């Protein structure tokens, strides 16, 4: 009985949580155990929550444009805490041009507006054992 | 074991991974628990239960902060229900505790019921022991509702607090019976609402009628957890209960009884699993069922046979 | 024609159509009825009670007698990014190109009361709007823009009093007195708790700040719209049209109650309340929503609050086209969406309008895409004919029936919220958030199942090149703002700042004090926004959200 645990979090100051909440519910309905952390979090808070709940996936959502700063910071802090095998994915208003940089920084996949939630489920199932 | 050494050395990662091992029944779980057992028994365990919507997690959050103020380290095990439809769960407690994430003296772990509340009480109990071995002074275990299974979970606590809110109508009637015996203290949360006095009287009356409370009369506190009001008094009550248990020697009795219950549960669990694997899930058993259905044989001697073989 | 005759005709039509449905089936998932007739309005449809005349109660047909025949709506483009210098350029460009009002977008640290140097501001400075740390930035933002000539809307909520004070102080420096200032502050904290997230303080002190502003402006800045009660973000968060107006009007009721409780006369402030709607994709539903909202609000003001002045009963509204309906796929299609949404807002009778740019699902808009969005409004105004008569869809059987339906659904929600104890309590309990989330989830699942088609997203998709020429706000804005703050702190009179902040702190602790003059003093002394909000945070504490899923 090893259910997949996913932390859905919004780093930074952006309060637009429609997407994050829809994703959290869709992941629950896909059979995952979802920890939704709410809005306005620091990368440190997110990484620590990931550690305490020992999640396999951290899903970040951000629409304010601060993703290039905040997403890599979360990855960095997860590594610092010894969480080396956590799948980090991100979504939001993210221009295509930023995606290679985010991937290089350890964000496994980036989902832009219009992505069906089923794609996120597929991505998690394909990447978490 | 390396993970146990690290846990005892205050590695949060090791603590987290050890709880996962227990939760997911990994192969090394038993070995971890065996090794940490001598290091447990130091933490004071508080159980919090009450109906959904009573504000338990907000209250838990505030209690944890109050204990931190008093210099204690705090572990929290928060349990949320698994959806029977999808097998997924929303573990919602963390959300109210995000501002605790910067505090090294706090560790919060959410657990889903995963459809097996029975097995869960053991897992939750093990998570408590791991936090205990890690060195948390106080451990709060918070459950989802007021059913029998939740009652089993909070039974692993030294002090059990029942949280209720005014304006629940007849719901209070439904939960009365279950919670009456287990509440060492009662908290009326959202006490700025209409009906608080009435609820207070109702609980008083229930306690009057209950002969079990000799030596300790469960206090009724009022809180508005969302505003942080009344929290200090609740912690004072918990501490008073703790002092009472120590002075009266009852803490010793409770913990002895708890070990007995735990071992009994572990035995039952082991036997059940053994029977399931060796008996129920066999072709031989399926054949017996067919024969019973056609009335070739009857179940009573089947049970006798099996017990004779299994428990020789 | 007699009603009975229409009924008989309709019965025959329905029977004929349904007999042929097997051969000529209709599309699946159609929400409205097949056909609307006078029967849908009822035999006793009373024109005067339901519609009346433009500029008259219940304002269904519009709040002004001649609507756009006199003057078009205010074409107000929401803009702001990076530094005050950059945003000032964009504002002057928009005014030079026919924009008739300004609308300031502030970055998130400004909206949440943090200076650009605060650790919480990391990565966010200048991103979704302009970074304003002190009066010095505000002076640059409105450089060469005469504040007596322009009306300015500011999307600012929790620290609305601080930004309004900065605006007043800039006007003072330009020699413009406060009673000449026209514009709007959003100042709607309840929808921040429910849907948008830029709250700072708990409800009680937040409501006090709002009523302080009402009172101060009624005496000193009489032309200023003191609040823009916003359904826009509730809709963006996923609500339906009925929920949008219901939850927003419920918020409006809470503000009016708070102000009356604070001792204000309803007619002294109600005329300065304004609203903010979303213009969504379904054109006719949106038109009906605008009309229904005016009818509901006028009734609330007249019957519940006993307002006497006509102005107090008018729901005046700013509109923005739906940002969440823009697609990242085939972004040029967004131009068409925005044009239809614009048509809806205009036929709905909006007083001002912001049109989104085609690239906003990807980034902040470029000058070119903003220009197209502004031109869209101008084309609708000058070429489409939609603005040439008042309430052009009034009397349409479908639109009138839909107006009635939305009104009914809105009243049901308002009653439900009354039962819970009003909007603040419904938000504290998570009721409103839950209703919005359920609608959002339903919408998303409809798209994923293919029951709802979004062109370019789940139908008519095509491979495309990543778009080029997106606007980028580079990371140096944070550093630039930090340097500005350091320089400011070196040159200002720090003793004066300290004294002003001390006075503000004392005022915060005394509920009978109106905080506006104290905030204005601190602003004039060049205290930073973070310093001012920091003092208020210290006394008031911070809001703890109620989040449910």
Q: What's the pLDDT band for B175 if we cut at 50, 70, 90?
A: low
pLDDT of residue C21: 93
**Given an 8 Å threshold on Cβ–Cβ distance, is C549 in contact with A114?**
no
Q: What angle do CA B210, B213, B219 make, to 5 degrees?
A: 100
Domain boundaries, chain B: 1-39, 41-248, 266-310
Phi, psi of C353 (to 5 degrees): -150, 135
| B73-82, C238-247, C319-328: least confident range | B73-82
The widest CA-to-CA distance across chain A, in whole angstroms, is 40
pLDDT (average), residues C343-358: 97
Interchain CB contact of C319 with A (< 8 Å): no
Check whether C473 has a pLDDT greater than 90.
Answer: no
pLDDT tens figures, C101-137 = 899 999 999 999 999 999 999 999 999 999 999 999 9
Check whether B170 has a pLDDT greater than 60.
Answer: no
Q: Please tell me what DSSP assigns to residue C325.
A: G
**Given an 8 Å threshold on Cβ–Cβ distance, is C238 in contact with A22?**
yes
Return mean pLDDT, chain B.
88
Cβ burial of C19 (10 Å; 0-12, 13-18, 19+) is exposed
How many domains would you assign to chain A?
Answer: 1
Return mean pLDDT, chain C.
95
CA distance B4 to B18: 8
**Given an 8 Å threshold on Cβ–Cβ distance, is B92 in contact with C544?**
no
| A37-46, B137-146, B168-177, C223-232: least confident range | B168-177
DSSP line for B171-227: HHHHHHHHHHTT-SEEEE-STTSTTHHHHHHHHHHHHHH-TT-SS-PPPEEE-BGGG
pLDDT tens figures, C368-405 = 999 999 999 999 999 999 999 999 999 999 999 999 99
CA distance C324 to B218: 53
Interchain CB contact of C547 with B (< 8 Å): yes
pLDDT tens figures, C192-206 = 999 999 999 999 999
Q: What's the pLDDT band for A1 if we cut at 50, 70, 90?
A: very low
Interchain CB contact of C549 with B (< 8 Å): yes
Q: What's the pLDDT band for C364 if we cut at 50, 70, 90?
A: confident
Q: Looking at beta carbons, which residues of chain A come within 8 Å of C198?
A: 13, 15
Q: Domain C53-449: give its CATH architecture.
A: Alpha-Beta Barrel (3.20)
Please tell me the pTM assigned to this model. Answer: 0.91
Interchain CB contact of A119 with C (< 8 Å): no
How far CA C476 is from CA of C82, C122, C139, in Å, comes to 9, 12, 21
**Given an 8 Å threshold on Cβ–Cβ distance, is A28 in contact with B98?**
no
- Tell me chain C's radius of gyration from C-alpha atoms: 24
β pairing state of B185-188 and B159-164: parallel
**Given an 8 Å threshold on Cβ–Cβ distance, is B101 in contact with A48?**
yes
**Given an 8 Å threshold on Cβ–Cβ distance, is B110 in contact with A83?**
no
Domain containing residue A21: CATH number: 3.40.50.280
Interchain CB contact of A59 with B (< 8 Å): no
3-state SS class at B76: strand
Of C127, C197, C454, the CB nearest to A15: C197
Percentage of chain C beyond pLDDT 90 is 90
* Of B46, B55, B47, nearest in space to B188 by CA: B55
Q: Which residue of C has its CA nearest to B194?
A: C421
pLDDT of residue C77: 87
pLDDT (average), residues C164-190: 97
pLDDT tens figures, C387-396 = 999 999 999 9
Percentage of chain C beyond pLDDT 70 is 100
Q: Which residue of A has its CA nearest to B80?
A: A33
Q: Looking at beta carbons, which residues of chain A come within 8 Å of B108?
A: 49, 52-53
Check whether B174 has a pLDDT greater than 80.
Answer: no
Spell out the alpha helix ranges (H) of chain B.
Answer: 2-8, 12-23, 29-36, 56-69, 117-134, 148-154, 171-180, 196-209, 231-247, 250-275, 283-293, 299-310
Of A1, A28, A51, the CB nearest to B114: A1
List chains touching B (3+ CB pairs under 8 A).
Answer: A, C
Q: What's the pLDDT band for B83 if we cut at 50, 70, 90?
A: confident
Q: Does domain B41-248 have CATH number 3.40.50.300?
A: yes
pLDDT of residue C475: 76
pLDDT (average), residues C312-321: 97
pLDDT tens figures, B286-308 = 999 999 999 999 999 999 998 88
Interchain CB contact of A8 with B (< 8 Å): no
CA distance B146 to B142: 11
Spell out the alpha helix ranges (H) of C97-159.
Answer: 108-111, 135-141
The residue with greater pLDDT, C117 or B86, is: C117
Q: Please tell me what DSSP assigns to residue C315.
A: -
Cβ burial of B298 (10 Å; 0-12, 13-18, 19+) is exposed
Which two structure tokens, joined as six digits, stand for C372? 């197209």
Interchain CB contact of A97 with B (< 8 Å): no
**Given an 8 Å threshold on Cβ–Cβ distance, is B94 in contact with A32?**
no
List chains touching C (3+ CB pairs under 8 A).
Answer: A, B
**Given an 8 Å threshold on Cβ–Cβ distance, is B90 in contact with C544?**
no
| B140-149, C51-60, C458-467, C493-502: least confident range | B140-149
CA distance C442 to C448: 10
Interchain CB contact of C324 with A (< 8 Å): yes
Domain boundaries, chain C: 53-449
- Give residue A82's domain range: 5-127
Q: How far away is chain A from the Cα of B200, in angstroms, using its nearest Cα? A: 34
Q: Looking at beta carbons, which residues of chain C come within 8 Å of B226?
A: 428, 544, 546
């Amino acid at each position: 009985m090893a259910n997949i645990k996913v932390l859905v979090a919004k780093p930074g100051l952006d309060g637009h949580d429609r997407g994050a909440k829809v994703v959290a519910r869709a992941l629950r309905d896909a059979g995952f155990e979802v920890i939704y952390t709410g809005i306005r979090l620091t990368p440190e808070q997110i990484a620590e929550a990931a550690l305490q709940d020992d999640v396999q996936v951290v899903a970040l959502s951000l629409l304010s444009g601060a993703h290039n700063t905040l997403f890599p910071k979360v990855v960095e802090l997860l590594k610092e805490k010894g969480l080396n095998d956590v799948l980090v994915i991100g979504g939001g208003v993210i221009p295509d041009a930023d995606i290679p940089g985010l991937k290089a920084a350890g964000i496994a996949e980036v989902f832009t507006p219009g992505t069906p939630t089923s794609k996120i489920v597929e991505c998690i199932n394909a990447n978490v054992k | 074991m390396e993970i146990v050494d690290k846990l005892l050395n205050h590695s949060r990662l090791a603590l987290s991974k050890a709880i996962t091992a227990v939760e997911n029944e990994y192969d090394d779980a038993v070995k971890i628990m065996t090794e940490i057992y001598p290091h447990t028994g130091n933490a004071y365990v508080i159980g919090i239960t009450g109906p959904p919507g009573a504000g338990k997690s907000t209250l838990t959050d505030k209690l944890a902060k109050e204990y931190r103020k008093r210099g204690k380290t705090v572990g929290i095990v928060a349990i949320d229900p698994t959806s029977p439809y999808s097998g997924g769960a929303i573990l919602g407690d963390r959300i109210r505790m995000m501002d605790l994430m910067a505090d090294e003296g706090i560790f919060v772990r959410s657990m889903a019921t995963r459809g097996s509340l029975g097995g869960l009480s053991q897992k939750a109990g093990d998570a408590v022991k791991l936090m205990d071995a890690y060195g948390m002074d106080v451990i709060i275990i918070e459950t989802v509702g007021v059913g029998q299974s939740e009652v089993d979970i909070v039974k692993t606590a030294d002090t059990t607090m029942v949280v209720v809110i005014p304006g629940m109508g007849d719901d209070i009637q439904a939960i009365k019976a279950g919670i009456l015996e287990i509440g060492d203290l009662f908290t009326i949360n959202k006490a700025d609402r209409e009906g608080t006095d009435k609820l207070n009287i109702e609980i008083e009356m229930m306690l009057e009628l209950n002969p079990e409370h000799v030596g300790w009369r469960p206090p009724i506190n009022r809180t508005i957890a969302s505003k942080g009001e009344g929290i200090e008094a609740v912690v004072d009550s918990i501490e008073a209960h703790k002092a009472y248990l120590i002075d009266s020697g009852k803490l010793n009795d409770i913990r002895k009884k708890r070990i007995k219950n735990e071992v009994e549960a572990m035995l039952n669990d082991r036997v059940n699993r053994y029977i399931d694997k060796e008996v129920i899930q066999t072709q031989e058993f399926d054949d017996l069922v067919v024969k019973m259905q056609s009335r070739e044989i009857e179940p009573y001697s089947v049970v006798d046979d099996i017990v004779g073989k299994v428990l020789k | 024609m007699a009603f009975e005759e229409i009924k008989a005709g309709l019965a025959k039509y329905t029977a004929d159509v349904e007999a042929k449905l097997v051969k000529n089936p209709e599309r699946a998932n159609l929400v409205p009825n097949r056909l609307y007739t006078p029967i849908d309005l009822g035999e006793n449809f009373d024109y005067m009670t339901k519609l009346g005349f433009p500029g008259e109660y219940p304002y269904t047909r519009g709040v002004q007698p001649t609507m756009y025949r006199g003057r078009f709506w205010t074409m107000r483009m929401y803009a702001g990014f990076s530094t005050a210098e950059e945003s000032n350029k964009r504002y002057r460009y928009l005014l030079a190109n026919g924009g008739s009002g300004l609308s300031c977008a502030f970055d998130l640290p400004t909206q949440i009361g943090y200076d650009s140097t605060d650790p919480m501001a990391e990565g966010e400075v200048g991103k979704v709007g302009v970074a304003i740390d002190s009066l010095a930035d505000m002076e640059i933002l409105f450089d060469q823009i005469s504040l007596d000539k322009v009306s300015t809307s500011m999307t600012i909520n929790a620290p609305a009093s601080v930004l309004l004070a900065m605006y007043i102080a800039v006007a003072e420096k330009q020699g413009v007195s406060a009673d000449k200032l026209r514009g709007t502050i959003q100042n709607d904290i309840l929808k921040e708790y429910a849907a948008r997230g830029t709250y700072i303080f708990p409800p009680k002190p937040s409501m006090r700040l709002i009523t302080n502003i009402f009172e101060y402006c009624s005496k000193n800045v009489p032309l200023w719209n003191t609040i823009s009660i916003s359904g826009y973000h509730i809709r963006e968060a996923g609500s339906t049209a009925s929920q949008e107006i219901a939850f927003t009007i419920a918020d409006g009721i809470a503000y009016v109650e708070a102000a009356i409780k604070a001792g204000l006369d309803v007619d002294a402030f109600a005329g300065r309340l304004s609203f903010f709607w979303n213009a969504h994709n379904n054109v006719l539903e949106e038109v009906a929503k605008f009309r229904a909202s005016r009818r509901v609000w006028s009734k609330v003001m007249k019957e519940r609050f006993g307002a006497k002045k006509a102005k107090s009963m008018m729901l005046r509204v700013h509109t923005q086209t739906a940002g969440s309906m823009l697609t990242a796929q085939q972004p040029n299609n967004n131009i068409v969406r925005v044009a239809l949404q614009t048509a809806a807002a205009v036929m709905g009778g909006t007083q001002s309008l912001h049109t989104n740019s085609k690239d906003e699902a990807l980034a902040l808009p470029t000058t070119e895409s903003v220009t197209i969005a502004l031109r869209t409004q101008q084309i609708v105004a000058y070429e489409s004919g939609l603005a040439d008569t008042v309430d052009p869809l009034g009397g349409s059987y479908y639109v009138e029936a839909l107006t009635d339906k939305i009104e009914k659904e809105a009243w049901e929600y308002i009653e439900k919220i009354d039962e819970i104890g009003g909007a603040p309590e419904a938000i504290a309990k998570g009721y409103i958030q839950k209703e919005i989330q359920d609608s959002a989830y339903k919408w998303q699942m409809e798209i994923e199942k293919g029951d709802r088609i979004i062109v370019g997203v789940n139908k008519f998709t095509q491979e495309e090149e990543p778009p080029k020429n997106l606007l980028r706000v580079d990371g140096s804005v944070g550093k630039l703002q930090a340097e500005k703050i350091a320089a400011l702190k070196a040159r200002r009179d720090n003793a004066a700042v300290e004294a002003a902040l001390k006075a503000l702190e004392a005022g915060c602790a005394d509920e009978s004090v109106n905080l506006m003059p104290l905030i204005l003093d601190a602003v004039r002394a060049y205290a930073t926004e973070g310093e001012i909000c920091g003092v208020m945070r210290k006394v008031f504490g911070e809001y703890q959200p109620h989040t449910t899923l």
